[in-house]
Amino acid sequence: MGNIFQKIEEAMVAAAFAEEGEQEFAASLLSSGKTSHKKVLLSTDCPVVTGKVLDHALQLCKRLGSMLEVYQIIPSETVASSPREFFEAGTRRLQSIQDKLSRIGISYKYAIKEATLEEELKLVAQNRRDIMAVIIPMCDSRTGDREQFRTTMSKMFSCPVVFFES
């Protein structure tokens, strides 16, 4: 009986993507076993990934039958202004988070970069074909034209991109 409910849920998720104009993607969801190696990418340059965003991402993974990968960009100017001991403690904390999340099946990667989130995601979009959906939390600290950012990100990926306002 549980299998029937799972099939109904899969059909409803596929229908939601089809309604948004993603018919090919929706059809691929209905093919069994096709999503097991694909990932949902949660990528951010926000200093904190909130539980709300993480819960949303995990629910999407559950519905799509995929794994979650979190990719956090830490601006290099944040690190440059930090005392060495603060930076070292922060790095240990990030590695601890990475270890804890890996134990529950979530891949967490962080990078200290001078590049913007947009520049980093451009590289990801070019080099990765295993991404099924992208979730981008919109931080309060984001400067510039939010609508332009959304448009650019949506065009960059060949999969649905969800912007999460916290």
Q: Residue 80 belongs to a domain with what CATH number?
A: 3.40.50.620
Tell me: do 82 and 14 sit in the same domain.
no
**pLDDT tens readout for residues 110-160:** 888 888 888 889 988 888 888 989 999 988 766 678 888 889 988 998 888
Whether the Cβ atoms of residue 107 and residue 68 lie closer than 8 Å to each other: yes
Q: For residue 158, what pLDDT is reported?
A: 85
Tell me: do 72 and 132 sit in the same domain.
yes
Tell me: do 39 and 9 sit in the same domain.
no
Tell me: do 90 and 55 sit in the same domain.
yes
Number of independent structural domains in the chain: 2
Q: Which of 29-33, 45-49, 98-102 has the lowest mean pLDDT?
A: 29-33
Q: For residue 121, which of 59, 78, 163 has the smallest C-alpha distance? A: 163
Q: Which domain holds residue 4?
A: 1-32
CA distances for 118 relative to 48, 82, 148, 151, 157, angstroms: 18, 24, 11, 11, 12
Residue 40 scores a pLDDT above 90: yes
**Arithmetic mean of pLDDT, 62-76:** 87
Average pLDDT, the chain: 81
Return all residues near 33 (Cβ < 8 A) that are at least 6 apart.
none
